[in-house]
Amino acid sequence: DEVTSCVVEQTDEPAGGSPSRLSDANKVALDQLVRAISQQGKIPPANSNIPANKPCVSIDTFKTYCEKGGLSQSDEPEALRKAFKRSTDKLLAASLIGKWQEYVWLIE
C-alpha cells in the first residue's frame, strides 16, 4: 500500500491570509480602520497589551467609520451590527488588526 503524508512549508504570508484575499466587506472595514486611525488615531496609555507607540482608535470610532463607509448594503441597525462583527472577527483572525478593551489598531 502507498503511504502519503503532508508537508508543511513556510511562507511570508500572515497566518490568516493577505488583505488581497479578503471579501469586499472586509476590505472596506480594513480601509475604514486605516482612515479612522489616520484622522483620529491616538497613542493609548502604555500597557503590555498594545504595541508601544501604536496609534489606535476606539471600537466605536471604527464602527462609525465602517457604517459611513458603506460596510453594509443595508441601513438597518441589525444588518450593520452583524456586518461589523463579521468583518472585525475576520480581520482579527487574519492578524491584520489588533483589539484590546476599547482600542483597535493595525498590525503591520
**CB 11: neighbour CB atoms within 10 A?**
7
Residue-level pLDDT, tens digit, the chain, 108 residues = 666 655 555 554 444 455 558 899 999 999 999 999 999 999 999 899 999 999 999 999 999 999 999 998 888 989 999 999 999 999 999 999 999 999 999 998
> What gap in Å lies between CA 88 and CA 4, rounded to an integer?
38
**Each residue's pLDDT tens digit, 12-39:** 444 445 555 889 999 999 999 999 999 9
> What gap in Å lies between CA 89 and CA 55, rounded to an integer?
20
- Please report the beta strands in the chain, taking only residues with DSSP state E, as ranges in sequence order: 57-58, 97-100, 103-106
pTM value is 0.79
What grid cell was written down for 96?
Answer: 491584520
